[in-house]
Structure 1
């Protein structure tokens, strides 16, 4: 890479990284707002919300990288063209291919990063998030605790909590257990859920225990601190249910009978697999369209708003059409080939328009007139 190419690479890479970072920040903010339910309704900590939000970042990046590449490249190339830096580059003897090589190199890096995200990081993050959500859903603290309400649990268990603090401390707890021939109640000023070797328990502070049997025997005990075993009420028969986005490529193209039964059909899994492999091609397409929008025509002192608008519309149409092909491929396997053809054709057309701009326009209807104009020019 020459000195000029290194300069162009840096000038294009910075806005691209900035655009991707800004879009990722917006996506993380949206995800965190969705995850507020984990704190408000499930009584989980802020760390759990942050963990679920960060695990969703790879899936966001798979969508954001081509968009950020397109937007950032447009910003960088527009500035370079407006400040006549591209004109100076071409005047120094650099060919158009040499000038766009840094942008192509950047697009290749983005495509490889997208491939890594879609094939490794995204399924890993989705599986971890699914396991975390399952643990929250089956957590007794989330299932049994709802502020200001009596919540019925399994095996005759009923729990009431007057107040739940942000650190997980329970205020004014009441527990009622009906075992048929025996009824037991606990009340405590403070309580907290916990686990010992995976076994759930409830720590009660400053409370009492009342037990009344069918034989008419009443027992009453007050305590400063005690532990109640909740393992009899933690029988969970449900299991984690995965989606096609949670599986790795070998599982998508060679699904097991269990995957076909619980995740989706073979057509859906194959369509998801081809979508993962074709996603990097959209990064190359995004850069090719951005280059064509700025460098694919004559210099204009009034700007390139129209060309940019056309390139943005073309990028949007092709990307939406790509998502449509993924959905259609789930039921028609032969359409999977178009997941690759669509971005490749769009990239080829963009590069064709970019390099065709170098050729002078000739009138096919009047070649003699063109020669006459050239002679008297």
Structure 2
């Protein structure tokens, strides 16, 4: 790139980076406040809290980055025009293709980053987040239950202990009502959570087990030592089923067609796959829309507010249509083409406006001048007849 192009590229990329950082921090703080329950309600450490919030960042960045590039492009073009640099470049004969080059390089870099995130990083982060949340919920004794309180989980588990003495829990009450019509109650003087071979166990000492079925038949079994596998209570003993956005791109490309979950959600698998491949097109489209609206040099007397408003409307409309196309692809495979056509159409229309817009404007100006000349000739004729 030439010196002018490097100067423009630096302005665009610095503006983009600043916008991306500011928007990401604002939205990340909002998401972090939603996860405060990990600290206050589930007794997690600050490390787990930041890990959970950090794993959600790739998904946020893939949505924020195209908008940040649009804002950065708009800011850079307004700055260049406000300092009369666009006017000087236009007067020096720099064509739109050369002026567009540093903006295109910025868009391609952002598109490559988004492509890497959507295809590889984002599904891995979602999968890691699901595994971490599952682990937190499974080990409910260490993470959820509070001393002296009866804690009831959605799965039908009620747990209580009187007090804690170091790592030992005293006065344990544990009720399991997951199976309809059957209740199992564990009572123990003390107990302790133990990790063994990647699994969490609750080891109870000196207690009894009370079992009761729907026929009101009950049995009591005393024990000196009894171990309960806590991982069985996290997801009702079932394996973790990953959603389409939590699966790798390879799993979406070559899914297990015999999987029951895939049969129920085949449309979501299809839409998620094509959304990942289409995501890198949006920063390019957003940059071209901003350039088409504001890339033409104008004097300070010529307002740019209307052009900026049209650019914002175009970006919002393009993203809304993209979301609608993604939703339609869930229901019909024929709508997959619309996922790619939406950003490509935005790119095509913007390029037409960039390269042929001045020609159309010049033609309209000449047509207006001819009309004015005709009006000036017709006025005297009408006055003479009068």
> TM-score of the superposition, structure 2-length normalised?
0.78
The Cα shift of 1:151 comes to: 3.6
> Using a 3 Å threshold, how does the CA distance of structure 1 residues 162 and 308 change in structure 2: closer, same or farther?
farther
Q: Are positions 1:361 and 2:358 aligned together? A: no
CA–CA distance in 1 between the matches of 2:123 and 2:35? 19
CA–CA distance in 2 between the matches of 1:315 and 1:210? 67
Partner SS for 2:195: strand
**CA displacement 1:338-364 (0-9 Å, x = unmatched):** 111111111111121122343323468
| Counterpart residue number, 1:245 | 245
The Cα shift of 1:93 comes to: 3.7
CA contact 1:183–1:213 (8 Å) conserved in 2? yes
CA–CA distance in 1 between the matches of 2:230 and 2:364? 83
| Counterpart residue number, 1:145 | 145
Q: Are positions 1:186 and 2:183 aligned together? A: no
CA–CA distance in 2 between the matches of 1:252 and 1:300? 52
| Counterpart residue number, 2:13 | 13
> Using a 3 Å threshold, how does the CA distance of structure 1 residues 245 and 264 change in structure 2: closer, same or farther?
farther
> Using a 3 Å threshold, how does the CA distance of structure 1 residues 33 and 64 change in structure 2: closer, same or farther?
same
CA contact 1:271–1:326 (8 Å) conserved in 2? yes
CA–CA distance in 1 between the matches of 2:369 and 2:159? 92
CA contact 1:296–1:353 (8 Å) conserved in 2? no
* Structure 1, unaligned runs of 5 or more: 221-227
* Structure 2, unaligned runs of 5 or more: 177-182, 211-221, 376-386
> Using a 3 Å threshold, how does the CA distance of structure 1 residues 23 and 178 change in structure 2: closer, same or farther?
closer
CA–CA distance in 2 between the matches of 1:281 and 1:92? 32
Equivalent runs, 1:272-287 vs 2, <5 Å: 272-287=272-287
Partner SS for 2:279: helix
The Cα shift of 1:95 comes to: 2.0
**CA displacement 1:279-299 (0-9 Å, x = unmatched):** 111111110011122124744
| Counterpart residue number, 2:70 | 70
Partner SS for 1:235: helix
CA–CA distance in 2 between the matches of 1:115 and 1:157? 45
| Counterpart residue number, 1:4 | 4
| Counterpart residue number, 1:84 | 84
Q: Are positions 1:174 and 2:171 aligned together? A: yes
CA–CA distance in 2 between the matches of 1:183 and 1:30? 41
CA contact 1:62–1:118 (8 Å) conserved in 2? yes
State the aligned residue count. Answer: 351
> Using a 3 Å threshold, how does the CA distance of structure 1 residues 51 and 347 change in structure 2: closer, same or farther?
same
Partner SS for 2:358: coil
CA contact 1:155–1:233 (8 Å) conserved in 2? no
CA–CA distance in 2 between the matches of 1:128 and 1:326? 25
The Cα shift of 1:45 comes to: 1.1
CA contact 1:12–1:76 (8 Å) conserved in 2? yes
Q: RMSD over aligned Cα, in angstroms? A: 3.8
> Using a 3 Å threshold, how does the CA distance of structure 1 residues 196 and 89 change in structure 2: closer, same or farther?
same
> TM-score of the superposition, structure 1-length normalised?
0.80
The Cα shift of 1:234 comes to: 4.6
